[in-house]
Amino acid sequence: MKATQLLMVDHEQVTAMLDALASGGDLEASGVAFFWKIKDALELHTEIEETVFYPAIESFAETNALIEQSYSEHQELTDLLGEMTPGESGWDDQVSKLRDLFSKHADKEERELFPKAESLLGEKELVRMGEEVQKLKSEQPRTGSSTRTRGQVG
């Protein structure tokens, strides 16, 4: 599977989790664990984009500005995740903001960046990158406790 396809699957999964969290109402213990699962998914997704995908296309003039913007969006997500504590004042607003930021980021990548990557890199390279993405995913612990770098997405 191509890296762009795998990243789109990640986008769909994270979006569904954020939608579920946003509509969850009162935050229970399971909701707290669910937030950590979402945070882990976002951290891994960002790590993959920043170590596999972005370096492969950031040197092209057609994608350079989009990549810079994507790094900036990742930082916004990182900052927001670092500020979030389930159940604290402003939680619902933070969840809504996180969902909005991620949705805009994913949409821009899928509409603008991924098509350019497809034409610049070609199917063979994207499949190779997809294998690298799958390897990274299989190597990462998925504990739902944000065991990588607390407070950072990538």
Percentage of the chain lying above the pLDDT 90 cut: 68
What are the pLDDT digits (tens) for 57-97? 999 999 999 999 999 999 999 999 999 988 788 888 999 99
User: 32 lies in a domain?
Assistant: yes
Number of compact structural domains in the chain:
1
The pTM assigned to this predicted structure is: 0.85
User: 146 lies in a domain?
Assistant: no
SS (H, E, C) the chain: CCHHHHHHHHHHHHHHHHHHHHCCCCCCHHHHHHHHHHHHHHHHHHHHHHHHHHHHHCCCCCCHHHHHHHHHHHHHHHHHHHHCCCCCCCHHHHHHHHHHHHHHHHHHHHHHHHHHHHHHHHHHHHHHHHHHHHHHHHHCCCCCCCCCCCCCCC
Provide the pLDDT confidence category of residue 15 given band limits of 50, 70 and 90.
Answer: very high
State which residues form the domain around 35.
3-139
Provide the pLDDT confidence category of residue 123 given band limits of 50, 70 and 90.
Answer: very high
CATH number at residue 108: 1.20.120.520
